Amino acid sequence: MKNILILNVGFYYNKYGIYSNKIILKGKFERLKKKKSFEKSIKKLKKLLGNIKIDIITHRVVHGGRFTNPRLLDKGFVNILKKIESLAPLHDIPEIDVIESCKIFKVKQYAVFDTEFHTTIPEKAKIYGLPYSYYKKGIRRYGFHGISHRYVVDYLRKNKLMKNKIIICHMGNGVTVSAIKNGKSIDTSMGFTPLEGPIMGSRSGSIDPSIIFFLSKKLSLPKIKKILNYKSGLLGISGKSNDIRDLIKSKRKRSKLAIDVLCYQISKYIGSYIPVLNGLNLIVFTGGIGENVHLIRRKILKNINFIKFKTLVVKVNEEEVILKEVKKLIS
């Protein structure tokens, strides 16, 4: 059995796991906010591995544009990812840095995409109200956190908990709310990029597009893009932190306001998906906040007491899904 290194890179972390017939090694590098820190994490990992041989590397890639199926990361495809990295800057930029850094292992690298799970979304839910020609050029709803969603659906089926009408709330630094019917995604809050949806750790979530035109009178587009991705959301409203744990501990009014806005907006998305599903059987919470912060779950559910449904918290193992996908690819 080959030794497969799986890398799951986020905004400030790099999770790794080495798998063969069993888990050989697993860990996480955190607080990686600069390009060099992601590169250093790979050098540290190589040193940590010692004599453990790596045969294949597989990466979670958040946005592959029109590419959604798992594939080999050859030079040509990495160049394609570089051209679209701005679509998901909090993830794709550090992911590409890590992919490039992993050349020191001198083995084949593969990508598994967050967008694949959402390819079942019907056209009426993924098209924007723009001229149709833009839709044909690829400007549409892609959806993200798909690997997390895939794990949830597989978990429910395995444990005989599957329901026909499910809403998954993945809540971490990024937030996705998705409508799942008969195990398939039919709508999701993130869109063309991971910027759409409820407010998140440092992302603004959905805003009136005209705000961008208004801001552009005094700010450059790169500056506005940085504000929307890195300085908004919980961080922007609270003026304190993008970490929900810090905000819960804080006594500042703006910290409480940021929490209230997050819970309100997630409740609103859940409410909008009930008619889409024609009912609701189950809400699943996952992600760092969804799994661990009861206060947030309670505040969200408080607004949805007009319909009967069950709730479940699922601790997701994205690496398990990635491992299954790459095994299919290399078998």
Active site members: 114
Secondary structure letter of residue 251 according to DSSP = -
Secondary structure letter of residue 107 according to DSSP = S
286 has which bridge partners?
170
For residue 30, CA distances in Å to 13, 62, 82 come to 4, 18, 24
The answer for residues whose C-beta is within 8 angstroms of residue 329's C-beta and 6 or more apart is 70, 71, 72, 110
Report the half-sphere exposure of 3 (CA within 13 A, side-chain side): 14
Check if the beta carbon of residue 127 is closer than 8 Å to that of residue 146.
Answer: no
Q: Which two tokens stand for residue 279?
A: 């009912």
The answer for residues whose C-beta is within 8 angstroms of residue 157's C-beta and 6 or more apart is 183
> How far is it, in rounded angstroms, from Cα 13 to Cα 30?
4
> How far is it, in rounded angstroms, from Cα 114 to Cα 185?
13
Q: Which two tokens stand for residue 223?
A: 């500056």
What are residue 193's phi and psi, to 5 degrees? -135, 170
Nearest Cα to Cα of residue 114 among 182, 176, 33: 176
Q: Which two tokens stand for residue 87?
A: 């679509």
